[in-house]
Amino acid sequence: MIKLLVDSSADCPDFVINDELVSILPLCINFGEKEYIDRVTITPTEFFQKLTEEKTAPKTSQVTPATFLEVFKRELAGGDQLVCLLIASAASGTFQSAVVAKNELDSDDILLIDSNMLCLGEAYLAIKILEWIKAGKNLTEIADLAKPYTENKIQHLFTVDTMEYLKRGGRITGAKAFMAELLNIKPVLTVENGLTKPIGKLRGRKKVIPYYIKYIQEEMDWQQTDFILIGHTVDPDFAKELEEKIREEVKWEKPIHIAEIGPTIGTHCGPGVLAVFYVKK
């Protein structure tokens, strides 16, 4: 049997998390000296509550080689094989830790995949891998099928509701944050090669969903996109509104899965994020 190991930064939908073939490897978040385990000792809702109360930005920490070694041994103990899908190596040292652990075990029963993605982009590939496992694909076949998805094939569209957390994390200056808040500017971000980059600016939140709909209509690969993922940070109503608009205006009849974005992305973006993920042309 092949099992799937995914790190918690992927923010996978519940049906993935609860699948018997899937294990989630939690990342850690530190508020000062206090450490929390993502979705184990702190929920996304609790995290964002704490984020708004704290003055200083929390820090996320990568998974260590020792932790990977322990997890790999446990997952392989029953004679199973393992696909390990991880956050982009450009954004975190977690993948390199997994490489160190795999080399120490010297096992051909572990397939490591650098997703080259963040958040639900990684989750998109996790869902596909789960489908391939259930279809009876072997590790070599899964590696070949996954490769195109890791080459910027999955669109990540993000908007943030406030610049405060980008400022706290040092991603923009205080002056830029102030002007953006003053003008009610909502930046639109995407992910390329595991790193975020701005692609647009919107005046006001009401323009976010129309902007997404236009992007989806123009660049989504209808044949390759089997489902659409929507992510949000403690704003399920906004996510539901986007889902309804996709159904109405894009005339989309395939599945749409909504998931709550957790601390890894949330640390930098804060509450009020809306994101959508699909396969690009």
Q: Which residues of 232-259 are buried (b: 16+ CB within 10 A; e: fewer)?
A: bbbbeebbeebbebbeeebebeeebbbb
Write down the domain spans for the chain: 2-27+62-150, 154-279
CATH architecture of 154-279: 2-Layer Sandwich (3.30)
pLDDT of residue 185: 77
Burial label, 100 (beta-carbon count in 10 A; 0-12, 13-18, 19+): middle
115, 125 contact by CB (below 8 A): yes
Assign domain 2-27+62-150 to a CATH class.
alpha beta
SS3 category, 51: helix
pLDDT of residue 178: 41
pLDDT of residue 78: 86
pLDDT of residue 177: 45
Report, as ranges of residue numbers, the positions in the chain whose pLDDT lies below 50.
172-175, 177-178
**pTM listed for this prediction:** 0.94
* Amino acid (1-letter code) at residue 237: D
Other Cβ atoms within 10 Å of 79 Cβ, number: 7
Q: In the 8-state DSSP scheme, what is residue 116?
A: -
pLDDT of residue 165: 57
pLDDT of residue 276: 98
